[in-house]
């Protein structure tokens, strides 16, 4: 399935506020293994209740109508999914990177995802590795996973890193949006 990446800025003031709050410069090693001179520390906006709410309010119209559950990816997707849950009334799964080794030993904490449409919620996507792994694991549990909503899509313009995995990416902001908002 060839799926497009959707990226738009619903509020240029939001892009500017996120850029001012979170944009760091230097040399940063990304989860993908790449090095970047620009880094958006998403925990800075996720820790600010006003910015977090504004980002999540921009996510609400990106939620597919057939969504049964929100799947917040550990760790940055969890506050986004929890806040999105409070705004949409949809239940939330908290998706671990790997099942815990004690207690219930679950990969996804919350309602059973089997037979349900799960919308993945992530903070930042560059290559999509964490999203890909979560989608695969949830599909193995019987969930339908076709869409991911992210706060910031840092993937290279014109690339669709998750299309081959049958995932449509819907983003509130792109890395380019944030750099542009900051005059870069």
pLDDT of residue 10: 52
Q: What percent of the chain has pLDDT over 70?
A: 94
Q: What is the pLDDT of residue 8?
A: 47
Average pLDDT score over the chain: 90
Largest Cα–Cα distance in the chain?
49
> How buried is residue 159: exposed, middle or buried, by Cβ count under 10 Å (0-12/13-18/19+)?
exposed
**Strands 144-153 and 91-95: what pairing?**
unpaired
Task: Give tens-digit pLDDT for 64-114.
Answer: 999 999 999 999 999 999 999 999 999 999 999 988 888 889 999 999 999
Q: How confident is the model at residue 148 (pLDDT cuts 50, 70, 90)?
A: very high
What is the structure's pLDDT at 131?
96
Average pLDDT over residues 33-60: 93
pLDDT of residue 7: 44
pLDDT (0 to 100) of residue 40: 85
User: Is the N-terminal amide bond of 75 cis, ω within 30° of 0?
Assistant: yes
Domain count, the chain: 1
pLDDT at 4 over 50: no
Alpha helix segments (H runs only) across the chain: 12-22, 42-46, 49-59, 77-88, 129-140, 175-181
Domain span at residue 75 reads 5-181
Structure tokens of 10? 């619903």
Q: Tell me the CATH number at 91.
A: 3.40.50.2020
């Amino acid at each position: 399935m060839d799926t497009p990446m959707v990226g738009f800025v619903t509020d240029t003031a939001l892009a500017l506020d996120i850029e001012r709050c979170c944009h760091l410069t230097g040399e940063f090693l990304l989860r993908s293994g790449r090095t970047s001179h620009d880094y958006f520390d998403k925990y800075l906006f996720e820790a600010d209740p006003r910015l977090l709410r504004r980002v999540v309010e921009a996510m609400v119209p990106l939620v597919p109508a057939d969504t049964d559950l929100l799947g917040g990816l550990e760790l940055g997707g969890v506050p986004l999914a929890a806040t999105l849950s409070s705004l949409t009334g949809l239940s939330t799964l908290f998706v671990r990177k790997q099942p815990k080794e004690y207690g219930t030993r679950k990969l996804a904490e919350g309602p059973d995802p089997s037979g349900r449409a799960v919308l993945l919620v992530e903070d930042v996507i560059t290559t999509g590795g964490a999203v890909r792994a979560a989608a695969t694991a949830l599909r193995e549990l019987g969930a339908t996973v076709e869409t991911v909503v992210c706060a910031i899509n840092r993937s290279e313009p014109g690339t669709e890193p998750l299309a081959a995995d049958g995932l449509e990416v819907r983003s509130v902001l792109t890395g380019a949006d944030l750099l542009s908002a900051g005059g870069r």
